[in-house]
Structure 1
């Protein structure tokens, strides 16, 4: 039977006019739908891309309100020749859309099928097969998928496609948009460090193992019944077989060394890593043989309270041989790369040495961008830790612990406000470099670095009262000549002392200082009566200012609310 064309001149007005047929009616045909073909990005080629093709077709057809022809929701009208002709036109239009978006071989198999629903059901039976082989293939693709050079968006899209395909066949976890957003944020941060030219170095041909090498942690660690620690057995425990000769315990207690132990069992060797021992993986038998052969570096922060100079981080560098420590305060962690370059120039000029190995964690500030290019240009081997293994940079991690312990002690003893924590850390580093340690056979890091004993004449009690000579010439011969200050550290490039003016609230360096090492201004109540200069014409408390009980409260009024 010949099918009427509803778009002839006599029927065109009836079908296309919204007054006769509503636009929301599935049978309504817009002239543009016949004039422009429906083409999607994916052509159906087989079982591999059926789900992706099906989803795209559903979206495209649903946007034209014709999805009911595929699901059977729009039945062929009866006893109404006009609507029946319109239905046949819509059905033919959907068949044409399907033919346009499948491969030729598939098109031939459905060429003589009469309705769009029959074609749709046939393709679903043919290609939507949920079997074990397909599940295995999808899982294998998911397992083998790697990000490589792709960005987060492209990589996440490929993951989403595999997850959605698996969702059709089994219960699979939904796509976690929050995780994708988190990784995209991380990638955006990484882009801040990327340079125009990409340099990739991956060469282990000239690898030379050092005594400070890393030892991989065994997840199935045994347990020692002697020291109650994991990682070794009783027969190999140092408490049983003795400690290596250069271990701190052997230095302090020679009777506990390997040489003085006669117990049977495997002996701890003094070459390379301690094999079969109770040491943690960052414990090594030998330090570097020369200064700056190996430098450990790490960033601490951010701290919740800024220093008085608005710093929130500090960078720590530790020489493996001498255990000398350098600390740099930082406003943000991105300053680390620049400081490392300046540190390299410093040791190159002052010690005529170069860094051979730099060991750190995987912080972006140290592994990407300018710092990465600088290390490669200088031939410095950059060693990084495994994920979640801070033990592998145990030297600098323990140094942080030592720095913070001393910093807390000197701040508590002086009762300084929390905003002075930066001065506490710098002073702690100054003191640690001049303290003898059993690890260096009771030598100081300063002595290992400069081959001479440090001078202790400059050492003063941190946070004590320091009366600084006032160089200001004044006609009044009876005003105080001393400025009440707090001693807060040692300057790097000046032969003097760093002090903090209590009244003017500023730090400066002076060599004309008289210390009162048993007096701590921040602990004194009614300090206005204790220091007569506060009542002079030059220093006075402003009228209407709140009553202040201690100097610490005067120096930092927010210290009580912050702490």
Structure 2
């Protein structure tokens, strides 16, 4: 049976070894011999006359035990085999190995947790990185410590290099929990895509076209006999020619006329410089992810607002240009015609004549705002108007927001907290959470408390667009209870300012309490609860009669 085992037991693969050996022993109906279901029979039998004889059942049991013991020995490596020297039965060997590799001692569990948290991808392949995490997770499972999928996903994303930051941000902002198998496929696909982007042989003709080396003109492809390059009838004709730079029907040699002359940094000259061993290879740089090899209009992050940060309009504006202004645009560069009736440029020297605009028209930007033309090179976001809508009764409007994950897990295993603020009284409730998915449970408990203690319904709830507030279960709960759920616009925390400001107040008070009491940061959950209790009892203008 030992030939059925593909793995020998060492210090790192106990779970895999146990899975294989258990399946083999179960298939041959001898697993009961190890787990104690079949007890060891007596070695001798005593007759009524007081004569002892060897028990035949014991002999059969001992023969089977020796066979199983031989199988176990054949699947152990030398270091592990040394651990079971001196044990006489297969059950003793089995129990010793299980106790050795599934020790639930606190030190062992802590070491495994620290090992899992410290795993980093580094320069190894994605498959190797994920396999290391899975092995450590299996070792924790063997000692009875279960790691849920959401926490394991966070550990995997935390161990990725900074090049995977856009990917990690997109995964964290997804609605719902992604399965580990699906995440593994996405990570390996992302790894392959990054390898292809970093391959210099994959440069496209478009990448060569936008590179600008600003070198003196040497003629077409460096051959002075062609003279100054210009558009002709044969070099860019569309037909069936095989030459990649002349597509005329007859494949004629490049002859040029003087109908339209290119600047010195022409396509032909740049192509020569790109192919020349001495020329410096330049590739287009995306203004959204700042990776080379593609433009902003082709970037797959262009609709990922979570990746683009709090000022997505700045990133989206880059799609109006096909090249990076800072790196590739100069006085002699070609500019892409976007088809727009008006343009905004970064260098006023490109305008001729340069006259200040005095008209009343405004510029419409991507978020729908109209900005006045002030003839300056700096643009500011318009201020948000002060809200004049105040609740006139308790729980007419409740502000909610989720804080976390905390940089340090609390002593009672909390990583988040949910803050709920009544707009009328500004009274605050805080619910400590272990997972973001506990938000719905905590809010349902808060609603039940309000209806029982105050006999008032919650009429409206205002929150941001976090996945914990936009899930189908949360929306169905609000709809079933008649609660109007108001969502702030994406990347506009000002519209949920009451809850956002309350976060700052709570965290500042909690940090002051921790500092004053000389406690470690792992006690932040107690500090947040204490800060909430104190803030609710401080004088406030809302309590004036």
TM-score greater than 0.5 by the shorter chain: no
Q: Computing the radius of gyration over CA atoms, which structure comes out larger, 1 or 2?
A: 1
User: Normalising to structure 1: TM-score of the pair?
Assistant: 0.32
User: Normalising to structure 2: TM-score of the pair?
Assistant: 0.33
Compare the two structures and name the one with the higher helix fraction.
2
